Amino acid sequence: MTIKQPEFLPMSRDEMDALGWDQIDVLLVSGDAYVDHPAFGMALLGRWLVSHGYRVGIVAQPRWDTTIDIESLGRPRLFAGITAGALDSMLAHYTAFRKLRHDDAYTPGGRHGARPNRASIVYTSLVRQTFSGLPVVLGGIEASLRRASHYDFWTDKIRRSLLLDSKADLIVYGMAERSLLEVAKRVDEGTSLRGIAGTVYACRPPEIPAGAATLPSHEEILAEPKRLMDATLDLEAQMHQRDGIFVQQAGDRAVVMMPPPEPLESAELDSLYDLPFTRQAHPAYDEPIPAATMIQFSITAHRGCAGGCSFCSLALHQGRRIQSRSPESLVREAKRLTHHPDWDGAITDVGGPSANMWGARCTAPSGSVCRRTSCLVPERCPHFKAEQAELTRLLRRIASLPGVDHLRVASGIRHDLAMIEPAYATALITNYTGGQLKLAPEHASPCILRLMRKPDFRLFEKFLTLFTRESRGKGKSQYIVPYLMSAFPGCTDDDMRALRRWFRERGWQPQQVQCFIPTPGTVATAMFYGGIDPDGNPIPVARTDAERIRQHHILLGKAQSAPPPRKGPPKPKGPRKPSGRNRGRGSRGQ
Ligand code: SF4
C-alpha cells in the first residue's frame, strides 16, 4: 500500500484525523523532541516506514509519571519502537565527573529534564502498561551499545543486556532501516521475530541457535573483569565482518545477537534522503530546539567510519564500511535547501562521522575476511581507497549552486587521510573551514594514540604546518581547534604533562579537552574496566574521580583541587510539565 508522506508525522489525534488515519501501524517513542530532519533518527525511520506503506505516529519526550502521553495516539496496529534519543540517556544527563548537566540540545528551549535516566527501560515499561501484549522494539545508540553485558560508568557496575533489564521483545542495533522493515512485515504476518539480521532477542539456553558463538557470560564478566574485553572485541568484529551469531548467557536467560544486515546501497540511501523532510521542529513546539537550529542546513553525505577509534560509539553503531550517497543526490538536497523558507544562504556541513571519508571504499577481493580493527592505523591499509579528489569536485559543485553563498565542512575530518590528497586539504583549508577547523589528534603520546587507534601525532603537526601555510597564503586569519582527551586508559600524569608541554611551548591554551567517559560497549571502556589493552597486557588506568580530575587539570594548567567524595550521580528531577502551546491540555501535540 502506498501512503502519502504527511507534512509532519502525527503527534496527536487531530493530526491523525486530518490525515484520515484511524490508527497508526507503528508508534515511535523518543527521548528527543521531534525534529523533521534526516539527522534525527526518529524522523528518518518514521518517514522510511511511511515510504514502505506503514502509518507512523510519534510520541516525543513523554512524561514518565503517567501514561497519558503514551496513550495519546491510541494503540498501534503492529508495534512500538523506542529510542532514548541521539545520546545514551545517562550521557545526556551527566558530565564526565557525574555532575548533572543543565542543558539538553535535543529539547525545546535546551532545557534539561525532558527524559528520564535509562529512558529505554522507562519508556518500555510505560508502553507495556498502556498496550498489553504489544511488541516493543528498542533501537538507537543507548540500546545498540548496551545490547550485551556492559560496563555502566554511572553506577560503576556491569549491567546485563538492556533487553533483559527492559523486558522489550527485541533490540534493533546499528542503522535500523532494513531490520525495522522486517520486524513490521513479520508482526503483520504474525511470524516469529527471532533471527532477523541486526537484532538481539532473548531466549532460554535450550533455544540457542545451532552454530552460535559464545561470548563470556554475564557472570563470567562479573567474576573476571578482563573478560569484558573478549566480549567487546567479538562484537566489534561481528559489526565489521557482518558475520556470525553470538550468544551471551545471563543467569537462566540468553541473548542472541544476529549479525548486522547489509548496509543500504547508495541508491537506497539516496531515496531515503530524498524523502520530504521539512527540516523543522514539529509545530507543537513553541521554543527552538538547539540541535535542530545547529543542523538545519547540514547535509549527511555518508555513513560509517573506517577509523575504528577505540572510544567511538558512533563507529560501532554505523560500522566501518562507508556507505555514500551519490553526488546527484547531494546536489539535489543542496538545491532543495535553497528553496527552504528559512534559507539564509549557508550550508553548514556536508559530512558524516569523518567528513573526508565520503566515497571511500574497501577494494579487498570479495569474500576475503578482514581482521583489522582500523583501515587507517597503524598504517593505511593498501585496500582502502579514498575519493577525496572527487569529493573536492563535489564540494565545489555544491558551493557554486545558485543561492548558495557559503559552504562549510563542520564535521571532523581525518587529517591523516587529508594529507594524502593535497588538493582536498587545500580546498578545505582555504574555502570550507569557516575560520576554524576542528581536528581530533586527542593526544600526543605514541602509546596512548596506539590504544586509541589514532594516527601518529607527527601527522597532526604536518597538517598544522600545511594549514598555517595555506591560510597565510590566502591572507586568512583562521585556526585549528584540537580536540584532546584526558584520563584515557593507559594514560598517566606524565603523559598529560608531556601533552601540556607541547601546547605551552607554542603558547597555545587547549580549549576542547574531554575527560574520557567510559560509555557502554566500546573497546576503550573494556580497557578502563579490565585494566588491560586489547592484547590483554596490563595498563595503568585513572579510575577514581580524583585521578581523572587531576589528569584533566594538568592539561588545562589548572591548580589541582581535591574532588568531592563520590556518592554516585545526583538524581534528575521528575518529568517537567508540558510546555508551550499544549500546556494544560494533558499531552503535547494534542
Ligand atoms: S581490508 Fe583494509 S580497507 Fe578493507 S576493511 Fe579491512 S582494513 Fe579496511
460-471 burial by CB neighbour count: b if 16+ within 10 A, else e? Answer: beebbebbeebb
**Contact criterion met (CB below 8 Å) for 394 and 327:** yes
pLDDT tens profile 204-233: 999 999 999 999 999 999 999 999 999 999
For 514, the enclosing helix (H) or strand (E) is strand 512-515
CA of 304 to the centre of ligand 1 (A): 13
Which residues have CB under 8 Å from 324's CB, separation 6+? 266, 269, 301, 302, 358, 359, 360
CA of 43 to the centre of ligand 1 (A): 32
Cis status of the peptide bond prior to 538, with omega within 30 of 0 = no
CA of 383 to the centre of ligand 1 (A): 6
Dihedral, 488, 492, 497, 500 alpha carbons, nearest 10: 0
CA dist., res. 525 & res. 389, Å (int): 36
Question: CA-based diameter of the chain, in Å?
Answer: 70
pTM: 0.93
Q: Is the beta carbon of 409 within 6 A of some atom in ligand 1? A: no
Q: Which atom of ligand 1 is nearest to the CA of 384?
A: 3
CB atoms within 10 A of CB 586: 14
Q: Is the beta carbon of 381 within 6 A of some atom in ligand 1? A: yes
Q: Is the beta carbon of 364 within 6 A of some atom in ligand 1? A: yes
Q: Which atom of ligand 1 is nearest to the CA of 370?
A: 6
Q: What is the pLDDT of residue 224?
A: 98
Q: Which atom of ligand 1 is nearest to the CA of 381?
A: 2
Cell of 232: 567487546
Q: Which atom of ligand 1 is nearest to the CA of 382?
A: 2
Q: Is the beta carbon of 453 within 6 A of some atom in ligand 1? A: no
Looking at ligand 1, which residue's alpha carbon is closest to its atom 6? 370
Q: Which atom of ligand 1 is nearest to the CA of 385?
A: 3
Which residues have CB under 8 Å from 277's CB, separation 6+? 36, 37, 38, 43, 47
Looking at ligand 1, which residue's alpha carbon is closest to its atom 3? 384
Fold equal for 13-201 and 297-364+373-434: no
CATH for the stretch 13-201: 3.40.50.280
* Architecture of the domain spanning 438-563: 2-Layer Sandwich (3.30)
Q: Is the beta carbon of 242 within 6 A of some atom in ligand 1? A: no
Q: Is the beta carbon of 237 within 6 A of some atom in ligand 1? A: no
CA of 364 to the centre of ligand 1 (A): 7
Pocket test for ligand 1, best of 243, 321, 357, 383 (most atoms within 8 A of CB): 383
Which residues of the chain fall below pLDDT 50?
A: 562-566, 577-590
pLDDT tens profile 182-205: 999 999 999 999 999 999 999 999
**Contact criterion met (CB below 8 Å) for 518 and 529:** yes
Domain boundaries, the chain: 13-201, 297-364+373-434, 438-563
Q: Backbone dihedral region of 567: left (phi > 0), alpha (psi from -120 to 50 degrees) or beta?
A: alpha
Pocket test for ligand 1, best of 239, 362, 374 (most atoms within 8 A of CB): 362
Which residues have CB under 8 Å from 262's CB, separation 6+? 178, 197, 242
CB atoms within 10 A of CB 19: 17
CA dist., res. 392 & res. 428, Å (int): 8
CA dist., res. 247 & res. 210, Å (int): 10
C-alpha distance from residue 221 to each of 34, 212, 248, 332 (Å): 38, 19, 11, 50
Fold of 297-364+373-434: Transcription Regulator spoIIAA (3.30.750)
Looking at ligand 1, which residue's alpha carbon is closest to its atom 7? 375
